[in-house]
Amino acid sequence: MLRTFAVALLTLVAFSTSAQTLDARVAAEIPSLLDTYRTLHASPELSLQEAKTSAFLATRLRELGYEVAYPFGKYRDPNATCYGVVAVLRNGKGPMVLVRSDMDGLPVTEQTGLPYTSQNAGVMHACGHDVHMTTLLGTARVLADLKSQWRGTVMLIGQPAEEIVRGANGMLEGGLYEKFGQPDFAIALHDWAALESGKIGYRANAFMAATDSLNLVIRGVGGHGAAPHTTKDPVVLAAETILALQSIISRERPPLEPAVITVGKIDGGTKRNIIPDEVRLYLTVRTFNPEVRRQVLESIQRVPKGLAMAAGLPDDRAPVYEHLAEESVEATFNDAALTERLAASIGRELGAANVIEIQPAMVSEDFGRFGLGGKIPTVLLALGAADPAALAAGTQSGLHSSKFAPSDPSIVLRTGVRAAVSAVLDLLKK
Ligand SMILES: [Zn+2]
Ligand SMILES: [Zn+2]
């Protein structure tokens, strides 16, 4: 009995020592990671324009001893450069783990008032991809130092164009797995404004929605603003269309199946007294169930056509529906077994109370593409970034908001690096 107790005690001591060691090791990196984070935060670049960001990341990873390929990847559009970064560290025979960070910022004018606020007017790291890159660099450094504790291969990815869900495809179509091998697991962290800093959130199976990017061109017959009866006003028709689209959600979608239709941008007209010839609507559509996805997209083609007909427009002035396949992606699923495994290993590092199950979200991601349609187990984890008091008061700014910033970057980065390193160490343990 005593002996069992002694063994248990020894195991506990050994375990907590190694946990402290990783935490202490990560804590020592925080001052330099905070510098990196502020530098990245101040210099965001839009999707497809991540030239400086990716060069920065590639240089740092090369300095850490990783074999780096950059810029890596290929878009279908020959005029666009895919600024992907691939950094590989080989450490003997064993599995390969892919760890991804995205790199792009958003067209948002920052209003955080932070001393290291964006220096690129109208562009902001409002989705926290600066946090992800910094976490990746911290993870890279610690894993390079702890080579004696793992075996196999680490493949770190700096992915461009996540916000328009094109970057993962760009890197895969550029031959990522053909050139560097196919990983056995793929993981990523995304900061989460609905979760407190210091915590990691996980969700097995359906986690993020499918996204479809659509344009609707509502056509009319233009003319004088004072003589609407001699025209077919596309502005009025666009207004009717926007409201009717919401009825697809309330009346056609099965109520237990989540779906969102948002018209995020409207373009039309030149002057108050001119009725234009057309109005352009820019939509994002979110769904989980592939059948619901198909139905909703079909309705978005049918309803505007019916309204145009009701307005008396001829068939050749019917609305034009454009689906942007390259900016659309299926729902993100987390492999259930891998999710459980990582939640447990990260829980041992951070404490089980800091690793919690969270709800799925209607946001979207192209990270799942790295799983090749379920062939490679993938898990996207949530990295808490919210201020607990603001979260409780309902005043926490969300991702993509001009006021979003992680509440305390040092806690978020420390949690992110500890989580990523402990996940990789578990997957590549000797
Ligand atoms: Zn985003
Ligand atoms: Zn994001």
Q: Residues 245-267: pLDDT tens digits?
A: 999 999 999 999 999 999 999 99
The predicted pLDDT at position 30 comes to 98
**Residue 311 pLDDT grade (very low, low, confident, very high; cuts 50, 70, 90):** very high
Cis check: omega of the bond before 71, within 30 degrees of 0:
yes
The predicted pLDDT at position 17 comes to 47
The amino acid sitting at 303 is V
Q: Beta partners for 87? A: 68, 156
Look at 252 and 19; give whichever has higher pLDDT: 252
The predicted pLDDT at position 20 comes to 54
Q: What is the pTM of this model?
A: 0.89
Among candidates 418, 383, 420, 417, which has minimal Cα distance to 190? Answer: 383
Q: How many angstroms separate the alpha carbon of residue 37 from the centre of ligand 2?
A: 16
If you write DSSP's letter for every residue of 136-181 in order, what string do you get? Answer: HHHHHHHHHHTGGGB-EEEEEEEE--TTTT-HHHHHHHTTHHHHH-
Q: How many angstroms separate the alpha carbon of residue 374 from the centre of ligand 2?
A: 22
Ligand that comes closest to the CA of residue 211 = 1
| Listed residues: CB within 5 A of ion ligand 1 | 127
Question: What is the pLDDT averaged over residues 300-304?
Answer: 98
- Compute the mean pLDDT over every residue in the chain, rounded to the nearest whole number: 95
Question: What is the pLDDT averaged over residues 180-201?
Answer: 98
The predicted pLDDT at position 4 comes to 53
SS3 251: helix
Q: How many angstroms separate the alpha carbon of residue 373 from the centre of ligand 2?
A: 21
**Residue 280 pLDDT grade (very low, low, confident, very high; cuts 50, 70, 90):** very high
For 123-143, what is each residue's pLDDT tens digit?
999 999 999 999 999 999 999
User: Residue 376 gets which letter from DSSP?
Assistant: S
Q: How many angstroms separate the alpha carbon of residue 252 from the centre of ligand 1?
A: 28
- What percent of the chain stands above pLDDT 70? 95
Question: How many H-runs (helices) and E-runs (strands) does the chain carry?
Answer: 10, 16
Burial of 170 (0-12, 13-18, 19+ CB in 10 A): buried
Question: What is the pLDDT averaged over residues 353-381?
Answer: 97
Tokens linked to 221:
């017959």
Q: How far is it, in rounded angstroms, from Cα 34 to Cα 36?
A: 5
pLDDT of 13 > 50? The answer is no
The predicted pLDDT at position 6 comes to 52
pLDDT of 426 > 70? The answer is yes
User: Residue 250 gets which letter from DSSP?
Assistant: I
Ligand that comes closest to the CA of residue 106 = 1
Question: What is the pLDDT averaged over residues 284-297?
Answer: 97
| 232 Cβ neighbours under 8 A, 6+ residues apart | 220, 221, 311, 312, 313, 317
Tokens linked to 377:
């187990």
Ligand that comes closest to the CA of residue 383 = 2
The amino acid sitting at 145 is D
pLDDT of 19 > 50? The answer is no
**Residue 21 pLDDT grade (very low, low, confident, very high; cuts 50, 70, 90):** confident
Ligand that comes closest to the CA of residue 130 = 2
- Give Cα 104 to chain centroid, integer Å: 10
Q: How many angstroms separate the alpha carbon of residue 363 from the centre of ligand 1?
A: 8
Please write down the HEC assignment for all residues of 265-305.
EEEECCCCCEECCEEEEEEEEEECCHHHHHHHHHHHHHHHH
Q: How many angstroms separate the alpha carbon of residue 190 from the centre of ligand 2?
A: 7
